[in-house]
Amino acid sequence: MSKTGALDLASGLGGKLEKNDVLSAVEKYEKYHVCYGGEEEERKANYTDMVNKYYDLVTSFYEFGWGESFHFAPRWKGESLRESIKRHEHFLALQLDLKPGYKVLDVGCGIGGPLREIARFSYTSVTGLNNNEYQISRGKELNRVAKVDKTCDFVKADFMKMPFPDNSFDAVYAIEATCHAPDAYGCYKEIYRVLKPGQHFAAYEWCMTDAFDPNNQEHQKIKAEIEIGDGLPDIRLTGKCLEALKQAGFEVVWEKDLAVNSPLPWYLPLDKSHFSLSSFRLTALGRFITKNMVKVLEFIRLAPKGSQRVQDFLEKAAEGLVEGGKKEIFTPMYFFLARKPLSATE
Ligand SMILES: C[S@@+](CC[C@H](N)C(=O)[O-])C[C@H]1O[C@@H](n2cnc3c(N)ncnc32)[C@H](O)[C@@H]1O
């Protein structure tokens, strides 16, 4: 069952954490970040704790606002947000040339919205890899409801150390997930290892673009807002991802920032000037209402202490994402298709 009601938001808040531990988890999470004096090296060294705290705290907010797929999409005029999200998932399936019966890996699968869509679109068996226990429990429940639980499964593990033998998968994809890796090379190298030779890896990466100026204070502020609001150790430049792919052994078939020619900007659902009934909860008014609702739920103790603070850093994320998108210094859809050479022995 989808969990998209206000009470679902309150009861899921904190994920697998004890409700009494939510406030201290928020405090600890915030301290990892620049806005609270945190350091990049500490975020990288403690990425498992930082990212898991983040997803325990935010998953019920994500499900409330986004549904089952936690990612952005380029969008055509006349297309709803939901339609654009599905099309973005189908695009990956087509790029990977998925064939019925393929064994596919979804790296950093969330609660499995894209996994279910791609499995049904391509008649493949998709394994979702995720390090967050709460998201996996939600994913399993939703797989049962969608009746894909016989062909698709979830594995709880870190994508920096995958529990799969070499050359296990016919295709691998990652949607807005490997940006959480403390080091892109280490993560891509693991993907390379588990992919069969001659097969493809495709991803949508969150990146800073070439327009990002590290000496510009405003750019740095936007980057820090996105990092705290989205549980990221350090957002890499597109060029760094490309370099890491090649270093891991991949041949890059093609790559492009899909934000560049999107007829409607990807950040539109979060933009203050935009109003939509179909994605109302993501709009500025929808978020304002959610903020007040969470305040009440926390006051009457249906939501744990610390819930409003989670909403606050998510609001910071929304602002950073819209500003980063408008200034074109940030993209959540740096796409690449990469191939493991047929001659690869590893
Ligand atoms: C923004 S969500 C995207 C989820 C999904 N791809 C989607 O589009 O709905 C990022 C996901 O990456 C997962 N993740 C982050 N770091 C991870 C790690 N080290 N190992 C495995 N999964 C990780 C998170 O738990 C979360 O599910």
pLDDT tens digit sequence for 38-63: 899 999 999 999 999 999 999 999 99
Tokens read off for 91: 């695009």
Interatomic CA distance for residues 276 and 296, integer angstroms: 25
Interatomic CA distance for residues 307 and 310, integer angstroms: 5
What stretches of the chain show up as alpha helix (H) in DSSP? 6-12, 22-31, 40-45, 47-66, 81-95, 113-122, 133-146, 184-194, 217-230, 238-248, 284-299, 307-326
- Give me the chain's average pLDDT, please: 95
Q: Using a 6 Å cutoff on CB, does residue 187 contact ligand 1? A: no
Which residues does residue 337 pair with via DSSP β-bridges, in sequence order?
202, 254
- pLDDT tops 70 at residue 151: yes
Distance from Cα 130 to the centre of ligand 1, integer Å: 6
Query: Could you report how far apart the first and last alpha carbons of the chain are, in Å?
Result: 41
| Residues contacting 37, CB < 8 A, separation 6+ | 31
What confidence category does residue 164 fall into, taking pLDDT thresholds of 50, 70 and 90? very high
pLDDT mean over 241-267: 97
Whether 238 contacts 334, CB under 8 Å:
yes
β-sheet with 153-156: strand ranges across: 153-156, 125-130, 103-107, 169-175, 195-208, 330-339, 251-257
Which residue's C-alpha comes closest to atom 16 of ligand 1?
A: 180
The DSSP-derived string for 160-219 is TS--S-TT-EEEEEEES-GGG-S-HHHHHHHHHHHEEEEEEEEEEEEEE-TT--TT-HHH
pLDDT (tens digit per residue) in 82-127: 999 999 999 999 999 999 999 999 999 999 999 999 999 999 999 9
Phi, psi for 197 (deg, rounded to 5): -60, 145
Ligand 1 atom at shortest distance from the alpha carbon of 106 = 6
Mutate to test the pocket of ligand 1, among 70, 82, 191 (most ligand atoms within 8 A of CB): 70
CATH number for region 1-346: 3.40.50.150
Q: What pTM value is reported for the model? A: 0.96
Mutate to test the pocket of ligand 1, among 63, 126, 159 (most ligand atoms within 8 A of CB): 159
Interatomic CA distance for residues 199 and 344, integer angstroms: 11
Instruction: Please name which of 217, 267, 263, 258 lies closest in space to residue 238, comparing C-alpha atoms.
Output: 258
Whether 205 contacts 297, CB under 8 Å:
no
What confidence category does residue 279 fall into, taking pLDDT thresholds of 50, 70 and 90? confident
pLDDT on residue 345 = 63
| Residues contacting 135, CB < 8 A, separation 6+ | 15, 55, 59, 109, 110, 111
Which residue's C-alpha comes closest to atom 4 of ligand 1?
A: 110
Ligand 1 atom at shortest distance from the alpha carbon of 112 = 9
Write the single-letter amino acid at 24: S
pLDDT (tens digit per residue) in 18-44: 999 999 999 999 999 888 888 999 999
Q: Where are the domains of the chain?
A: 1-346
Interatomic CA distance for residues 11 and 304, integer angstroms: 8
Tokens read off for 280: 């109302």
Mutate to test the pocket of ligand 1, among 180, 187, 266, 314 (most ligand atoms within 8 A of CB): 180
Distance from Cα 91 to the centre of ligand 1, integer Å: 19
Whether 260 contacts 74, CB under 8 Å:
no
Mutate to test the pocket of ligand 1, among 29, 49, 51 (most ligand atoms within 8 A of CB): 51
Which residue's C-alpha comes closest to atom 19 of ligand 1?
A: 158
Whether 314 contacts 291, CB under 8 Å:
no
